Amino acid sequence: MWWLRRWLRGVRTWRWLRPRLRPALPPPSDLAEIARHLAERLPIYDAKEREPGTVVIHGRDFTHDFRVVFNLGDPSGARKPETLVEVRPHHPELPSGFALFPRTSVSQADVAESVATGDRLFDRRWVLEGDRLSILAALSRQDRMMIGRSGYLSVSNGWLYMLVEGLNTETEALEAQISHASSLALRLAERLMPEVTGERLLESLSAEMNGQVRLKLTEGIVAQHEGASAVDGMLDFWNREFEVEKRTQVRMRVLRLMVENLPDRQGTAALLEKGLLDPSPDVRLFAARHAGAAGLEVMKRVAQTRFASEDTRIDALFLLGQRTDETTFREALLVAAKEAAPRVRRYALQRLLDEPGPQLSEDLLRVAKGSDREAAEELASSLAQAPGSVSEPALLQLLSSRSTRVKRAAALSLGQVGSVDAVPKLLELALPIIFDGSLRDVARASIDQIQRRIQNGATGGLSLIESGEQAGALSAPETEAGALSFRCAVPTDLAAGE
């Protein structure tokens, strides 16, 4: 293993020697030597001490002016040593109305107020002021990465300032800092020119990967002008990228922007077609709302999509009621009234009861036959608010349920709206052999309610049967409380009863 020990010894030696081989700047107090040393690689034309402890080196290139400021720091430690590079492009110049500086507060309100790019990490770290469209066009993904590589950076009044903690005394490192600052300043100056905003926005959109930034760029292109040449390129881009955009919020917002601002463009129609096939029920419903007749079937499917939110499904039912025929709408309501989602089925049942048709009684019976236990129990309770003539067949069906809770709810509702036709079914539950005493008591109480409510229905009296096979017959209480017997209604019986 001698070779490994020798190699490790060589690595340790090189680590010690390498920093000593780099060309370092002389002490900052020796201005002439600093200028001479840097002038070999940088276009330096002036070097002076601006104030005690601060050395300023001026330079000029073909494209920009720059200053390097060495702050030596305070021996007491009140001010730390630092190196500041300042760059001002010649042409184009950085606009004076543009400002960029590190954020000092990251509170939610401050961040939300000054969001410029949609890049969450970038906007939390940097504050930008000025024309929002120009800023959005200027800060492409590459530019944000260049700014992100900077420690402390600010831009204002045509100058870019880049600060590094400590004295940057290595020539190559200082040259790299000046190069980075000048490249960033020139790039920002070029991209902040107002006359190229539309082209820059589309260029950034085509290269962008962040969904929220894409959305911001799209909003910028739409806000610029409807007839701008960038609009057609933006529509082409989204028709390529819409299906692979992962964020539902972004896809929804893009569709909304196109529908609200570019409704007559062919690209908007193509986007709506893609929206009808979107995996998100909310996006599908929005597209269906604006897709004409092609969206009706999608609305119907969204209303029946169980993993969709209840609000979305209710909205789909509401839109169906506005845009489709009555038969299709009622079929959708009947399906929804059997659903496990409580708000959806309540909405569907309420719409059925609010808009009664000739088939309402049969519709309610279909709902009663197909509902699960929870839905059936809620239906039984709700039907107490409907006329007995339409709700009784469904309640009688629910009275035959296997669930005791459904039976109890149906018996209670029949006591409020049922007719004499319901009594035989209730009698089956009121017999002593029923093991559930609570259900038996409810059934007997409901029979008493029916007897008191119908004509001459007081105990010991007679009442006329209004419907069913016994229609026209008289019912008379038997000796057992809550029991009724039926007699044919003929004139002689009526005379005898008088």
**Tens-digit pLDDT profile for residues 28-55:** 566 677 777 777 777 887 877 777 778 8
Decide the pairing of beta strands 82-89 and 54-60. Answer: unpaired
User: How many C-beta atoms surround the C-beta of residue 252 within 10 A?
Assistant: 19
| Ordered DSSP codes for 132-157 | HHHHHHH--HHHHHHHHT-SEEEEET
Q: What does the alpha-carbon distance between residue 150 and residue 128 come to, in Å, rounded to a whole number?
A: 15
pLDDT-derived band at 316 (thresholds 50, 70, 90) equals: very high
Cα angle for residues 268, 272, 277 (degrees, 5° grid): 150
In 304-341, which ranges are continuous DSSP H helix?
Answer: 310-323, 326-336
Judge whether residue 13 has pLDDT over 50. Answer: no
Q: What does the alpha-carbon distance between residue 486 and residue 462 come to, in Å, rounded to a whole number?
A: 10
Question: Do 477 and 444 contact (CB within 8 A), yes or no?
Answer: no
**Tens-digit pLDDT profile for residues 222-253:** 987 656 678 889 999 999 999 999 999 999 99
The pTM score is: 0.71
User: In this predicted structure, what is the pLDDT of residue 483?
Assistant: 54
Beta carbons within 8 Å of 238's beta carbon, 6+ residues apart: 218, 254, 258, 267, 271
Question: Do 247 and 216 contact (CB within 8 A), yes or no?
Answer: no
Which tops the pLDDT comparison, 172 or 24? Answer: 172
Judge whether residue 469 has pLDDT over 70. Answer: no
Distances, alpha carbon 155 to alpha carbons 99, 102, 113, 179, in Å: 5, 10, 20, 16
Q: What does the alpha-carbon distance between residue 386 and residue 330 come to, in Å, rounded to a whole number?
A: 18
N-terminal to C-terminal alpha carbon distance within the chain? 127
Sheet containing strand 54-60, edge to edge, reads: 44-51, 54-60, 64-71, 82-89, 159-165, 152-156, 99-102, 126-129
User: In this predicted structure, what is the pLDDT of residue 257?
Assistant: 94
Question: Do 122 and 205 contact (CB within 8 A), yes or no?
Answer: no
User: In this predicted structure, what is the pLDDT of residue 460?
Assistant: 45
pLDDT-derived band at 130 (thresholds 50, 70, 90) equals: confident
Two tokens, residue 198? 């539309």
Q: What is the mean pLDDT of residues 258-282?
A: 93
With CA atoms as reference, report the closest residue to 186 among 220, 143, 128: 143
Q: What does the alpha-carbon distance between residue 424 and residue 403 come to, in Å, rounded to a whole number?
A: 19
With CA atoms as reference, report the closest residue to 255 among 285, 220, 295: 285
Identify the weakest region by mean pLDDT among 194-203, 344-353, 426-435, 466-475: 466-475
Beta carbons within 8 Å of 158's beta carbon, 6+ residues apart: 88, 89, 93, 94, 95, 96
